[in-house]
Structure 1
Amino acid sequence: MPFAVLVDQTGRKVKLPARPKRIISLVPSLTALICYLGLEDELLGVTRFCTHPEGLKGRKKVVGGTKEVRYDRIRDLRPDLIICNKEENTPEMVSALEQFCPVHVSDISTISDFLELLKDYEVLFGLPGKTGQLAGEISRELDRRAVANLPPVKVAYFIWRKPWMLAGGQTFINAMLQCGGFCNVAASTSRYPAFENDWPEQWDRPEWIMLSSEPYPFKEKHLAEIRELFPEARILLVDGRWFSWYGPELPVFLKKIAGLRLQEGGQ
């Protein structure tokens, strides 16, 4: 009998003949989760964006990025499981990789999606009960949110420049903004809406602007440019990991985002 059979979050059937011992992760936040689960020794290949835990890239084989990989390096590692994500990795990559070995693809746009993934990973890696502590910490942090009774602040969360691009609805970033006491002005749009120069009339004017550190590395030098577009708004440079990295630090990130609302938005 196979070790594990499950349907991943994109509806693909994943069948493992034995417990995976040679893992490649092409999703930075899930790389951190795999290490949290005690599987760093089984993790052989990562992307150049897999920066956590600190120093991991120096201990593992870097097989490329999240959109392009070195298939020869992956093949040479002889993996028995490859970890992918619907947003991070392309369908073409998944199709090519599953010629080598089983591929599990996550699809996470809410915290509930991540909690479901934790259950899948317990089956996938043969770790019953291993994720319970993390799931409990996340649930408790959501239950005791200090921002729950504050009026939500209208925010635009920028992820790219030239063209300007925002995090829209049905994204994990949007879910984290909501948990932190913010109302995403682009929540009713596509996942990542873009505009060139003029703010779209159908969107509310934001009270706050958040400039993310990733994927575009917004810096202090970009603040003046944004102020010309939004002279009335509060502008913040924020750590993109807080809003887009689902993983073992999620309870901490929830606290940090709520802290932004409390410290900057005022009680």
Structure 2
Amino acid sequence: MRRFATLLLLIVFLALVWSYPITVVDDAGRTVTIVQKPERVICAAPSTTKFLQYLGLEDKIIAVTNWDDFEAERIGDLFPINLEKIVSLNPDLIFTFGGFQLPEVVKLEQHGLTTVVLNANSVQQILNDLVLVGIIMGVPEKAKKLANQLQEHYLNIAKKAYNIPLDKRVKVAYLMDIPGPDVREVWTCGQGSYLNDLIVLAGGANIAALFTGPNGFLPISLEYIVSQDPDVLIVASYVPNSEEQIKEKVSNHPILKSLKAVRNKRIYVYDNYLLSLPVPQLVEYIEKFYNDFYGGK
């Protein structure tokens, strides 16, 4: 929250003395100088594309990776990045994700390419990044307005969720995939992940909240899930219109079928593409989660 307030103060200051170059600190803690207003932007991760789309700056995107659903020239995989292709496009700015992409940032800098890392691990950090991108792209007031609207929206839901007694909150398990019959683990979200933040703000009690891993994601055993017996399952979908098939697969799983969530038919399927991205569009899922957890009450 303090960083968000600091960013808003920075916006007010920049509105009075707006000019490039500007210097910002990205999510990798790097100090980055933006020499001029970016007109040619490469989004080297799908999550970064979503920020520009949310700000209505799609026309600034000249290229994306093969994993993106935005129509633009392709630069290849997320890792390793295609340096030759990127250099040939002569971008003003490159947005990347953190984690496994961080080593690629060094390579980009060695080629004189201005690069900003966006790697939010909470809802508030997503809003911070929205404001940061707005500052970088020269639309700070628009970014501030959108961030404030999102914050007001999710806080309205969070306030309702806060009033639910702790012993009445639903226990939630997030399944990144449905394990096969011989697999004993499944990836989920834990402490330090933006998805855990969404679940908590929606009034859920994440069964993996005590654990963490890279960016807050980690594998947990099926035995642990059974021991916690969650009230609700959130399951990621990788294929459009596969909700019923996924529910059936979970219901017939030799281990998962014993769960309270399965017996009570409280399996909720969400598009994994958006679930996997810490972006402004995902903040709206807090309300969807709340409605699934408590029927919109």
Q: Scaled by the length of structure 1, what TM-score is found? A: 0.83
How far does the alpha carbon of each residue in 1:153-180 deviate from its partner, in whole angstroms, 9 at most, with x for none? 1111111445411111100110111112
Specify the alignment match of 1:229 in structure 2.
256
Specify the alignment match of 1:153 in structure 2.
170
Which residues of 2 match residues 33-52 of structure 1 at below 5 A?
A: 33-51=51-69
How far does the alpha carbon of each residue in 1:104-155 deviate from its partner, in whole angstroms, 9 at most, with x for none? 1122111111222122223211212011232122122123214343332111
How far does the alpha carbon of each residue in 1:56-94 deviate from its partner, in whole angstroms, 9 at most, with x for none? 32xx1111233333222212111121101214x422222
Measure, in 2, the Cα distance between the counterparts of 1:104 and 1:24: 11
Specify the alignment match of 2:127 in structure 1.
115
Specify the alignment match of 2:103 in structure 1.
92
Percent identity among equivalent residues? 23
1:12 partnered with 2:23? no
1:90 aligned counterpart, secondary structure: helix
1:137 partnered with 2:155? no
Q: Quick check: 1:156–1:185 contact (8 Å CA) kept in 2? A: yes
Which residues of 2 match residues 238-249 of structure 1 at below 5 A?
A: 238-240=270-272, 243-249=275-281
Alignment CA distance shift 1:194-1:93 (3 Å): same
1:171 partnered with 2:193? yes
1:194 aligned counterpart, secondary structure: strand
Q: Quick check: 1:141–1:254 contact (8 Å CA) kept in 2? A: no
Measure, in 2, the Cα distance between the counterparts of 1:225 and 1:69: 40
Counting matched residue pairs gives: 256
Equivalent AA in structure 1 for residue 109 of structure 2: E
Deviation at 1:207, TM superposition (A): 2.2
Alignment CA distance shift 1:134-1:232 (3 Å): same
Which of the numbers 203, 207, 212 marks the counterpart of 2:236?
Answer: 212
Alignment CA distance shift 1:196-1:155 (3 Å): closer
Measure, in 2, the Cα distance between the counterparts of 1:241 and 1:133: 26
Equivalent AA in structure 1 for residue 268 of structure 2: L
Equivalent AA in structure 2 for residue 142 of structure 1: Y
Q: Scaled by the length of structure 2, what TM-score is found? A: 0.76
Q: Which has the larger radius of gyration?
A: 2
Mark the runs of 5 or more structure 1 residues left unpaired by the alignment: none
Specify the alignment match of 2:12 in structure 1.
none
Alignment CA distance shift 1:188-1:131 (3 Å): same
1:41 aligned counterpart, secondary structure: helix
How far does the alpha carbon of each residue in 1:220-263 deviate from its partner, in whole angstroms, 9 at most, with x for none? 25314546235133233223356443434245322222221133
Q: Quick check: 2:199–2:286 contact (8 Å CA) kept in 1? A: no
1:112 aligned counterpart, secondary structure: helix
Which of the numbers 89, 96, 101 marks the counterpart of 1:77?
Answer: 89
- The CA RMSD measured in Å over matched residues stands at 2.7
Alignment CA distance shift 1:50-1:66 (3 Å): same
Mark the runs of 5 or more structure 2 residues left unpaired by the alignment: 1-18, 262-266
Greater percentage in helix: 2
Measure, in 1, the Cα distance between the counterparts of 2:221 and 2:120: 28
Deviation at 1:32, TM superposition (A): 2.0
1:62 partnered with 2:74? yes
Deviation at 1:198, TM superposition (A): 3.2
